Amino acid sequence: MSGEWPLWEIFIRGQHGLNHRHVGSLHAPDAEMAIRNARDVYTRRNEGVSIWVVRSNDITASSPSEKGPLYDPSNSKVYRHPTFYDIPDEIGHM
Amino acid sequence: MYAQMVTSEGSKARKDMTPDETAFQDRIDRNEKIEPKEWMPDGYRKTLIRQIGQHAHSEIVGQLPEGNWITRAPTLERKAILLAKVQDEAGHGLYLYCAAETLGVSRDELLEALHSGKMKYSSIFNYPTLTWADMGAVGWLVDGAAIMNQVPLQRTSYGPYARAMVRICKEESFHQRQGYDIMMRMCAGTPEQKAMAQDALNRFWYPALMMFGPSDKDSVHSAQSMAWKIKMNTNDELRQKFVDQTVPQAEYLGLTVPDPDLAWNEDKGGHDFSEPDWSEFFAVIAGNGPCNAERLGARVKAWEDGAWFRDGLMAHAAKAGERARAARHAAE
C-alpha cells in the first residue's frame, strides 16, 4: 500500500454572509477531491454556500505554551472596550 | 452507546500525580476543553484513541446492516431516506476518525486495527437485519440508545471529540425519528405487518440494552474515564434512562417489550427490567455473534477492492502537481 491520502481542513461559509468557518477535516488526494468530499460530508443540510479547503500541513498554529505571553496582556487593557467609558444619560445612545 | 468496555490507562489517585498531571486534572475539573497540541497524560491520549476509534468503527460498520435494505426498501421515498441515513453514518465515522487523528494516530492505523480485529466496534452491528421492520427497530432502538450516550458526550473534555459529538447529535435525531416513523407505519398496517414490527422489537430489545455495556459501577476503568470526563454517565444510568424513555414509545405502538418482568417501580421512579444475557454479549464481542465474520469481511473486502482506486487518485494528484510546478517554472 502506498501513502495515505493527505488531510485537509475544511472551511464553510453559511448562507447569511458570515465568514468561512472551520467545520472539520477530511482526507483527499487533491484539492478538487477535497472540495467534492467536503460537499458530501459537510453540506448535506444546507450548511453552506462556499467551501475552502487547505492542506492541514500548510497551517501554522500558535503554540499552546505561548498562551500566557500572547493573550494575557490584553486582559489589563480594559480601555479597549466601549463599556470602559461613562457617557452621561442625557447624551443618549452612543 | 457505540463504545463498549473501553479500558482506560493510567488510573491514578490525586496524591500520586506529577505536577503536570495535577494541573491537567485541575483543568478538567474546571470544565476546560483540552485541545490537540496541549499537554495531556499518555493514558488520557491512549484511552481516547481507543474510545473515539471504537466509536468511529461502529459508525462505519453500522452502515452494513442498513445497507442491506437500501435496494429492498418498499418505496422510492423510503429508499431515499435510508440512503440519506446511511450516508450520515459514513459522515459520523469521518468526523470521529478525524477527532482521533488529532491525537496522533493515522487513519490507516485505525483502519488496520479494525480490520485485524485489534479494535472493536459495537456489538449491536453483529446482528442480522432480516425484515424491513428491522430498519424501523434499528433507527428507533439502536440510534435511540446511541443518542442517550452521545448527548452527554457533547460536554466531554476533549475539544475535537466534543465538537464531533455536537455535529453528530444534530443529525441523529433524524435517524431515530425515521425509525419510529417506520414502526408507526408498520403497526398501523395489516396484522402481518404489525407482527413483523413486534418480531423486530423482540429481536433487537436485548441487543439494544447490551449497547450500554455491562454494569460498570465497580469498574476502575470507568471511574478513571469519568474523572477525565470522557465518559459522563455510568452504563447502568444510561440503560435505565433508555428503558424509561422507550417503554412508553412501545406502548404507543401497541407493541409488547419482550420482558415479562418489566414493571414500573414507583419508589425509584423508573422501570424494573431484566438484564440481557451477558454471556451472549461477551460471545459477540469475542467475535462469535451471528454476523461478525460477514461484517468484518465486507469491511476488509471494500478496503482491499478500493486500493487501486485510492492509489490511482494519489498518482493522478502527484502527476498533476508535477505538471503545475513545471508550468510555473516555464512561465518564470
User: Residue B318 has what pLDDT?
Assistant: 93
The answer to whether position A84 is within a domain reads no
pLDDT in tens, B212-238: 999 988 787 888 999 999 999 999 999
Chain A residue numbers with beta carbons less than 8 Å from the beta carbon of B314 are: 2-3, 5, 29
Intra-chain end-to-end CA distance of chain A, in Å: 65
Residue A44 located in a structural domain: yes
Is residue B190 situated within a structural domain? yes
Task: Tell me, yes or no, if B107 comes closer than 8 A to chain A by beta carbon.
Answer: yes
In-domain check, residue A12: yes
> Does any domain span residue B321?
no
The pLDDT value given to residue A1? 43
Please indicate whether, in this complex, the C-beta atoms of A25 and B98 are within 8 angstroms of each other. yes
Do the chains contact at A26 and B94, CB–CB below 8 Å?
Answer: yes
Question: CA distances (Å), B32 to each of B12, B106, B109, B159, in order?
Answer: 20, 26, 29, 9
Which chain B residues contact residue A25 at CB under 8 A?
98, 101
SS3 A26: strand
Q: What is the CATH number of the domain that holds B85?
A: 1.20.1260.10
Q: Is the ipTM of this complex over 0.90?
A: no
Q: Which of B88, B314, B316, B325 should one mutate to test binding to chain A, selecting the residue with the greatest count of A CBs within 10 A?
A: B314
pTM of the model: 0.92
A30 within some domain: yes
Cβ atoms of residues B7 and B208 within 8 Å:
no
Task: State the virtual CA torsion across A75, A76, A82, A83 in degrees, nearest 10.
Answer: 90
Q: What is the span of the domain harbouring residue A17? A: 7-61
Structural domain containing residue B220: 14-289
Q: Kindly determine whether residue A61 and residue B37, on different chains, have CB atoms separated by under 8 Å.
A: yes
B23 touches A: beta carbon within 8 Å? no
If you measure CA to CA, which chain A residue comes closest to B166? A23
A19 within domain boundaries: yes
The pLDDT value recorded for residue A2 is: 54
CB nearest A4 (choices: B94, B108, B163)? B108
| Closest chain A residue by Cα to residue B35 | A64
| Residue B310 in domain | no
Please report whether residue B298 resides in a domain.
no
Closest CA to B5 of B241, B213, B152, B243: B213
pLDDT tens track of chain A, all 94 residues? Answer: 458 999 999 999 998 888 999 999 999 999 999 999 999 999 999 889 999 999 999 999 998 888 889 999 999 999 999 999 999 999 999 8
A2, A3, A64: residue with CB nearest B35: A64
CATH number, domain of A54, equals 3.10.20.520
CB contact under 8 A, A64 and B38: yes
B113/A44 Cα distance (integer angstroms): 29
**Cβ-defined contact of B314 to A5 (cutoff 8 Å):** yes
Considering its fold, how many domains does chain A have in total? 1
pLDDT value, residue B81: 97
Cβ separation A4–B94 shorter than 8 A: no
Give the distance from residue A42's alpha carbon to the nearest chain B alpha carbon, in angstroms.
8
**A21 within a domain of the structure (yes/no):** yes
Are the Cβ atoms of B84 and A2 closer than 8 angstroms? no
Q: Which of A2, A45, A61 is closest, CB to CB, to B314?
A: A2
Does residue B328 form part of some domain?
no
How many structural domains does chain B have?
1
Determine the pLDDT at residue B5.
72
Q: Is A15 inside a domain boundary?
A: yes
| Contact across the interface for B321 and A7, Cβ inside 8 Å | no
- Positions of chain B with pLDDT under 50: none
Helices and strands: H and E segment counts in chain B: 14, 2
Select from B37, B91, B317 the Cβ nearest to the Cβ of A64: B37
Q: Best interface-test mutation with A: which of B33, B40, B95 has the largest number of A CBs within 10 A?
A: B95
> What are B295's three cell numbers?
461484517
Instruction: Compute the nearest-CA separation of A69 from chain B (Å).
Output: 16
